[in-house]
């Protein structure tokens, strides 16, 4: 049943027959790896991989069509994706009197993806063929005994190919389509990274680094969200890569049974991507974005068999929604996670029996949109594993205390009565794992 967000009434489910066919995920992955510890004086690693992904999503109140009786029905989407890739790296140590280590490599990827409508065979997202080639060189040089320099360069070449297609209006039975001319745009970007690590003492280390990142926007969201006639793939600015400037400073401490790491980071993009919902459709807005964050992790070995771990993460970000070159509005829950504190206890009671107990607290978050403010909550999870003569048995309890809460996504991700969900109550899982 549809909820009522304003009244605080969540969406509920009841026993019955679902409309349409049940959803599913089907993933098949294959990998072939080869390594050689001394290939012409180098360490060689090579791998080839292939992934076949098929998914059918549940029926939603979108994609209407008329059945044989002239009655309105709602279609389902099916995603089909095939990835083929390769990674090659060569490592050489001991150069310049054992002060320099070099790594050279090449990453290759081909991705073919499309999204169809199950019952009517219409194309929701046209087939896109994405190819990426990225050679890189990375080095580590010991300047003086306590100071090490890390530096590298990576060149990204990406190519996207999409045929001419027509969009689908999710809520219009008459299918008010827009034709988009196909194209074959390509993108080049050279990326650099630079970092310093200073070993202050045997137990203290300081570090700072700068790196540039490269990634494509969500192509499917861009293509299916086009509403303006006369556009073509070659000149579509929203398909331009996302290039980020990342900076980080931090410190690591290791006192035998105790460890602590502190870091502060910044990630900026002049042409980033912010997800937003428009009439029930997720759209990727290309805007300047700035993200700032702090991470703290610590561990304490109570004994050889018992360990405590804690972590705290804080992140905040803004984007330039009015296009004036300055960020002005906070990122919401669909783009950034809440501040989170976690405390975990891991114990190895015997060689066969181990347990893990973790509590997580997600703090309140306030943004510029009062409808997307988040009221935090805490969860406790527990797990037990027992090694059998053959394989391993596991037992888990999620939400051990049966906390009653509305999920972060439902509160801070989108304003919707349909997607106003409560989190799962106490959930028990039983598993068996066999490695071969």
Q: What are phi and psi of 206, to 5 degrees?
A: -110, 145
State the DSSP H helix or E strand holding residue 120, giving kind and residue range, or none if neither: none
Give 311-349 as a DSSP string. Answer: EEEEEEEEE-TTSSSS--EE--TTTSPPPEEEEEEEEE-
Mean pLDDT lowest among 62-71, 89-98, 168-177, 348-357 = 168-177
The yes-or-no verdict on residue 276 having pLDDT over 70 is no
pLDDT value of position 258: 95
In eight-state DSSP terms, residue 219 is H
The yes-or-no verdict on residue 280 having pLDDT over 70 is no
pLDDT value of position 208: 98
pLDDT value of position 21: 84
Confidence of residue 284 (pLDDT cuts 50, 70, 90): low
The yes-or-no verdict on residue 25 having pLDDT over 80 is yes
The yes-or-no verdict on residue 278 having pLDDT over 60 is no
pLDDT value of position 226: 82
Confidence of residue 275 (pLDDT cuts 50, 70, 90): low
pLDDT value of position 274: 65
Looking at domain 24-433, which CATH architecture does it have?
A: Beta Barrel (2.40)
Q: What tokens does 413 get? A: 């991700």
State the DSSP H helix or E strand holding residue 140, giving kind and residue range, or none if neither: strand 123-144
pLDDT value of position 13: 79
Mean pLDDT lowest among 149-158, 204-213, 286-295 = 286-295
What does the pLDDT look like over 342-397, one tens digit per residue? 999 999 999 999 999 999 999 999 888 888 899 999 999 999 999 999 999 999 99
pLDDT value of position 216: 86
The yes-or-no verdict on residue 69 having pLDDT over 90 is no
Q: Residue 221: name the closest of 276, 166, 173 by CA.
A: 276
Give 33-99 as a DSSP string. Answer: EEEEEEETTEEEEEEEEEEEEEEEPPP-S-SEEE-TTS-EEE--EEEEEEEEEEEEEEEEEEHHHHT
**Count of CB atoms within 10 A of residue 425's CB?**
12
What does the pLDDT look like over 314-349, one tens digit per residue? 999 999 888 888 888 888 888 899 999 999 999 999
pLDDT value of position 58: 85
The yes-or-no verdict on residue 277 having pLDDT over 60 is no
Burial 285-322 (b: 16+ CB within 10 A, else e): bbbbbbbebebebbbeeeeeeebebebbebbebbbbee
Q: Residue 393: name the closest of 404, 385, 401, 382 by CA.
A: 385
283 in Cβ contact with 256 (< 8 Å): no
Q: Residue 109: name the closest of 170, 157, 75 by CA.
A: 157
pLDDT value of position 81: 96
The structure's pTM equals: 0.85
Where helices occur in 369-433 by DSSP H, the ranges are 408-412
pLDDT value of position 287: 84
Q: Residue 124: name the closest of 88, 84, 175 by CA.
A: 175
The yes-or-no verdict on residue 240 having pLDDT over 60 is yes
Domain ranges of the chain: 24-433
Mean pLDDT lowest among 62-71, 156-165, 423-432 = 62-71
Confidence of residue 175 (pLDDT cuts 50, 70, 90): low
Which position has the higher pLDDT, 281 or 220? 220
């Amino acid at each position: 049943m549809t909820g009522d967000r304003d009244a605080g009434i969540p969406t509920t489910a009841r026993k019955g027959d679902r409309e349409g066919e049940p959803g599913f995920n089907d993933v098949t992955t294959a990998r072939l790896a080869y390594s050689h510890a001394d290939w012409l004086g180098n360490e060689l690693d090579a791998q080839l991989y292939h992934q076949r992904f098929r998914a059918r999503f549940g029926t939603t109140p979108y994609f209407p069509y008329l059945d044989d009786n002239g009655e309105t029905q709602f279609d389902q989407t099916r995603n089909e994706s095939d990835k083929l890739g390769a990674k090659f790296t060569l490592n050489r140590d001991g150069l310049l009197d054992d002060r320099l280590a070099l790594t050279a490599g090449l990453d290759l990827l081909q991705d073919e993806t499309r999204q169809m409508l199950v019952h009517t065979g219409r194309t929701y997202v046209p087939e896109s063929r994405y190819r990426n080639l990225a050679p890189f060189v990375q080095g580590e040089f010991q300047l003086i005994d306590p100071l090490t320099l890390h530096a590298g360069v990576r060149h990204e070449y990406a190519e996207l190919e999409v045929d001419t297609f027509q969009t689908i209006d999710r809520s219009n039975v008459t299918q008010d389509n827009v034709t988009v001319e196909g194209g074959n745009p390509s993108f080049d970007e050279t990326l650099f990274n630079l970092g310093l690590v200073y070993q202050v003492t045997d137990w203290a280390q300081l570090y700072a680094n700068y790196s540039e990142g490269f990634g494509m926007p969500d192509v499917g969201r861009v293509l299916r969200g086009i509403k303006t006639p006369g556009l073509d793939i070659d000149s579509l600015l929203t398909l331009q890569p996302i290039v980020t400037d990342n900076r980080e400073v931090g410190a690591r401490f290791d006192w035998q049974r105790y460890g602590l790491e502190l870091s502060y980071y910044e990630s900026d993009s002049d042409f980033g991507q912010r997800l937003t919902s428009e009439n029930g459709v997720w759209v990727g807005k290309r805007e300047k974005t700035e993200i700032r964050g702090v991470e703290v992790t610590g561990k304490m070995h109570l004994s050889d068999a018992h360990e405590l771990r804690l972590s705290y993460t804080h992140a905040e970000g803004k984007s330039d929604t009015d296009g004036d070159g300055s960020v002005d509005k906070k990122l919401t829950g669909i783009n950034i996670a809440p501040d989170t504190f976690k405390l975990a206890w891991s114990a190895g009671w015997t060689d066969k029996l181990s347990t893990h107990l973790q509590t997580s607290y997600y703090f309140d978050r306030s943004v510029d949109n009062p409808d997307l403010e988040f009221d935090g909550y805490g969860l406790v999870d527990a797990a037990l594993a027992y090694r059998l003569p053959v394989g391993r048995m596991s037992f888990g309890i999620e939400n051990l205390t049966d906390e009653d809460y509305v999920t972060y996504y439902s509160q801070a991700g989108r304003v919707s009565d349909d997607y106003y969900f409560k989190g799962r109550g106490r959930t028990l899982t039983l598993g068996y794992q066999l490695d071969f």
